């Protein structure tokens, strides 16, 4: 890997777009410095070949904030969504191996929120091949963004819904249309004789976990489970979340996904903004999404809009986005 210059040196970076400043927020700073992500170990030599010297600074520091006011090329990693004429965001997408390289942010903040998906019949064969390869591996090997319990030998008991919780402490105000409690209560009362699975987020705070546990006690048909995400999705009639990455993973099993918050994969989900709409989504979700083109959507979202550092075309595609952003010849 081409060395990335130190934060100390970054204070004296020469002005102009011949310098690339990577702003690593939180643990990303150390991870990038140690060369633990192939996105950057492959990006840096390419930038050098294009005449750009790469610097690494810790995000949200005085140095980082000062440099953001300059006309360097900036890559934000793990930081807040921000827009600027010389800014791109790099961050892992919902599935390992695929990265955002986006001008607005990642996840619910990415520019894909404003894009429109249209099935492309000419790419059908390529989309099916891509979908089957990615999903087959992940489901077979029990791969997820976070570690999962081993897959069950037999399927779980079928359920009305699997609800995938998110830590409320990390949610940006206004990003969720419905609360976790509203999602649980609506699913539980939709059919009181049917099971509802609730999976807590591994990073849920003790207080958040306790509040959800206490709420679930009021609904006898709600079962908290630590089973593999893939098993819980398989057992569910619909999958309900706010905008969790696990909701995106549910698309691998072609499940109707209900996102009760802002997301950038809304094109493949139902998005209720109130309890009445959520009830309707639970009832009609399987019918509404029955003929959705999951293969085409995966290909569009991951293959066409995200980057894969392991691919031979990674450097070419990454540079094309930089060139377009900076309006270079």
User: Do the Cβ atoms of 185 and 282 come closer than 8 Å?
Assistant: no
Q: Residue 151: inside a domain, yes or no?
A: yes
Shared domain for 314 and 265, answered yes or no, is no
- At residue 9, the pLDDT reads 52
Q: Quick one: DSSP state of residue 169?
A: G
Residue 324: what pLDDT?
95
| Cβ(214)–Cβ(224) below 8 Å | no
Q: Is 103 exposed, middle or buried (0-12, 13-18, 19+ CB in 10 A)?
A: middle
What local confidence, expressed as pLDDT, does residue 55 receive? 92
Angle 180-190/206-216 helices, nearest 10 degrees? 20
H-assigned helices in 98-140: 124-140
Residues 188 and 90 in one domain: no
Statement to judge: residues 312 and 215 lie in one domain: no
204, two tokens: 């849920």
Those residues with Cβ within 8 angstroms of residue 36's Cβ, 6 or more apart along the chain or in another chain: none
Compute CA distances 287 → 172, 283, 284, 290, 291, whole Å: 32, 9, 5, 5, 8
Q: What does the pLDDT read at residue 8?
A: 46
- For residues 93 and 150, membership in a common domain is answered with no
Token pair in block for residue 148: 């999962």
Task: Give pLDDT < 50 ranges for the chain.
Answer: 1-2, 8
First and final C-alpha spacing in the chain: 27
214 and 239 belong to one structural domain: yes
Given this model, what pLDDT does residue 42 score?
A: 96
Q: Name residue 23's beta-bridge partners.
A: 57, 76
Q: Looking at the domain assignment, is residue 277 inside a domain?
A: yes
Give the torsion sign (CA, 147, 149, 153, 154).
Answer: negative
Residue 109 counted as domain residue? no
Whether residues 68 and 17 share a domain: the answer is yes
CATH number, position 33: 3.40.50
297 within some domain: no
Looking at the fold, whether 317 and 288 belong to one and the same domain comes out as no
The structure tokens listed for 69 are: 């006011």
Residue 255 lies in a domain: yes
Claim to verify: residue 169 and residue 282 sit in the same structural domain: yes
pLDDT of residue 145: 86
Per-residue confidence (pLDDT) for residue 108, from 0 to 100? 95
Give yes or no: residues 285 and 157 share one domain: yes
∠158-262-259 over CA atoms, to 5°?
Answer: 10
288 and 312 belong to one structural domain = no
Identify whether 117 is part of a domain: no
Half-sphere exposure of 249 (CA within 13 A, CB side): 26
Q: Which helix (H) or strand (E) holds 197?
A: strand 196-199
Q: Is 257 helix (H, G, I), strand (E, B) or coil?
A: strand
Backbone angles phi, psi at 40, to 5 degrees: -85, -30
Q: Are residues 87 and 181 in the same domain?
A: no
pTM for the whole structure = 0.92
pLDDT, tens only, 260-315: 999 999 999 999 999 999 999 999 999 999 999 999 999 999 999 999 999 999 99
Number of domains within the chain: 2
Instruction: Count Cβ atoms below 10 Å from residue 45 Cβ, excluding itself.
Output: 13
| Burial of residue 166 (number of CB atoms within 10 Å: 0-12, 13-18, 19+) | buried
In three-state secondary structure terms, 38 is helix
Q: 261 and 164: one domain?
A: yes
Helices (H), 149-257: 180-190, 206-216, 229-235, 245-250
CATH of the domain at 288: 3.40.50.2000
Domain range for 131: 124-292
């Amino acid at each position: 890997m081409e060395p990335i210059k130190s934060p100390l040196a970054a204070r004296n970076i020469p002005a102009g777009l011949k310098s690339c400043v990577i702003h690593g927020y939180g643990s990303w700073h150390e991870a990038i410095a140690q060369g633990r992500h192939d996105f950057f170990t492959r990006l840096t030599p390419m930038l050098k070949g294009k005449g750009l010297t790469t610097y690494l600074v810790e995000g949200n520091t005085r140095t980082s904030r000062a440099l953001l006011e300059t006309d360097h090329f900036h890559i934000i990693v793990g930081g807040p969504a921000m827009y600027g004429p010389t800014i791109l965001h790099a961050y892992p997408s919902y599935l390992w191996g695929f990265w955002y390289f986006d001008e607005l942010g990642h996840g619910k903040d990415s520019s894909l929120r404003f894009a429109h998906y249209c099935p492309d019949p000419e790419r059908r064969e390529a989309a099916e091949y891509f979908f089957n390869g990615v999903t087959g591996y992940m489901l077979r090997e029990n791969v997820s963004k976070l570690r999962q319990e081993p897959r069950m030998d037999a399927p779980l008991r079928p359920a009305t819904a699997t609800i995938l919780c998110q830590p409320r402490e990390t949610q940006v105000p206004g990003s969720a249309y419905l609360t976790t409690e509203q999602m649980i209560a609506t699913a539980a009362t939709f059919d009181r004789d049917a099971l509802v699975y609730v999976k807590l987020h591994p990073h849920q705070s003790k207080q958040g976990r306790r509040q959800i546990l206490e709420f679930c006690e009021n609904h006898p048909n709600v079962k908290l489970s630590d089973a593999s995400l893939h098993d819980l999705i398989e057992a569910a009639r619909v999958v309900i979340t706010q905008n969790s990455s696990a909701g995106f993973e549910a698309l691998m099993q072609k499940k109707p996904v209900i996102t009760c918050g802002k997301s950038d994969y809304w094109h493949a989900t139902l998005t209720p903004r109130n309890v009445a709409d959520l009830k309707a989504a639970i009832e009609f979700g399987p019918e509404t999404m029955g003929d959705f083109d999951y293969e085409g959507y995966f290909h569009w979202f991951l293959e066409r809009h995200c980057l894969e550092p392991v691919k031979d075309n990674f450097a070419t595609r990454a540079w094309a986005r930089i060139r377009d952003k900076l309006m270079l010849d």
